[in-house]
């Protein structure tokens, strides 16, 4: 079977030529739930942005359903790979929450009525209906994270790529996020330092260290090996 998304021998350097990823090869299957782990600066956010087409590799290839991400395919890829940024404020920029969530369908050619109906349905599914007419800066931290998630769920992506989704959440909001993600059917790639978040959510783990893929295997096996976790700069 052709994987949903795949990287083959991908290298990426920042504009100042600092290496971010080096020779990364991996594949994610439809519906698979994968934890993307590694210390700060390991290249996790860069990898997510390569999958979404926001960045392009210096060498190697990034493919979706076997098709390379190019200028001709990137718009379709961004609808299928829903990237939720680490900072919700990078994703919420319009005067009201309903406008933020409807923006994606409108940009893809939906009518205003259809986009609004879809946005309302997604907000209701996340328990945010009552906040639909509020600006993002009037929402709590947990509400902003769910709102950022809503902006990608509205496009029915095949892969949810989440960058530190539990950052700054209190226990109640964190549990709500887990319940929501646990009930989704899309493939998940969760970049996080929060090992407890992914313990009940993912079966597979990828570990990046210094831009290199150092582990690709069962999450339970990784979590059971404290010495290996510490070697990777992760806290059990």
What is d(CA 86, CA 38) in angstroms, rounded to the nearest whole number? 15
Domain presence at residue 148: yes
Position 168 scores a pLDDT of 75
Count structural domains, the chain: 1
Q: Which residues neighbour 66 within 8 Å (Cβ) at sequence distance 6 or greater?
A: 2, 6
Position 235 scores a pLDDT of 81
Q: What global pTM score does this model have?
A: 0.92
Tokens of 92: 């919420």
Domain, as residue range, for 24: 5-231
Q: What is the CATH number of the domain that holds 143?
A: 3.40.50.300
What is d(CA 149, CA 143) in angstroms, rounded to the nearest whole number? 10
Count CB atoms within 10 A of the CB of residue 92.
23
What is d(CA 159, CA 82) in angstroms, rounded to the nearest whole number? 6
What is d(CA 5, CA 66) in angstroms, rounded to the nearest whole number? 8
Domain presence at residue 65: yes
The closest of 187, 188, 184 to 165, measured between CA atoms, is 188
Position 174 scores a pLDDT of 84
Q: Are 40 and 20 in contact (CB under 8 A)?
A: no
Tokens of 23: 């020779």
Position 227 scores a pLDDT of 94
Domain presence at residue 115: yes
Tokens of 38: 């590694």
Positions of the chain with pLDDT under 70: 236
Position 193 scores a pLDDT of 87
Q: DSSP characters for 54-120?
A: SS--SEEEEEETTEE--TTTHHHHHHHEEEE-SSGGGT--SSSHHHHHHHHHHHTT--HHHHHHHHH
Residue whose tokens read 């700060």: 40
Domain presence at residue 34: yes
Q: pLDDT for 77-127, tens place per residue?
A: 998 999 999 999 899 999 999 999 999 999 889 999 999 999 999 999 998
Domain presence at residue 236: no
What is d(CA 4, CA 44) in angstroms, rounded to the nearest whole number? 19
Domain presence at residue 145: yes
Position 92 scores a pLDDT of 93
């Amino acid at each position: 079977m052709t994987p949903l998304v795949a990287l083959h021998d991908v290298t990426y350097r920042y504009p100042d030529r600092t290496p971010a990823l080096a020779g990364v090869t991996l594949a994610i299957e439809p519906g698979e739930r994968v934890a993307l782990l590694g210390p700060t600066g390991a290249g996790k956010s860069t990898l997510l942005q390569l999958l979404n087409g926001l960045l392009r590799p210096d060498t190697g290839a990034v493919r979706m359903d076997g098709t390379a991400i190019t200028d001709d395919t990137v718009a379709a890829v961004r609808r299928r790979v829903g990237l939720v940024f680490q900072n919700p404020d990078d994703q919420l920029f319009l005067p009201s929450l309903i406008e933020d969530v409807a923006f994606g369908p409108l940009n893809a050619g939906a009518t205003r009525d259809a986009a609004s109906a879809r946005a309302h349905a997604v907000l209701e599914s996340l328990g945010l209906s009552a906040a639909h007419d509020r600006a993002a800066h009037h929402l709590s931290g947990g509400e902003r994270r769910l709102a950022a998630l809503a902006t990608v769920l509205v496009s029915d992506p095949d892969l949810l790529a989440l960058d530190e989704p539990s950052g700054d959440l209190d226990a109640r909001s964190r549990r709500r996020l887990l319940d929501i993600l646990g009930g989704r059917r899309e493939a998940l790639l969760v970049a996080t330092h929060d090992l407890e978040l992914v313990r009940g959510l993912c079966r597979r783990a990828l570990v990046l260290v210094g831009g290199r893929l150092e582990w690709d295997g069962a999450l339970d096996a990784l979590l059971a090996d404290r010495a290996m976790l510490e070697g990777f700069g992760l806290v059990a």
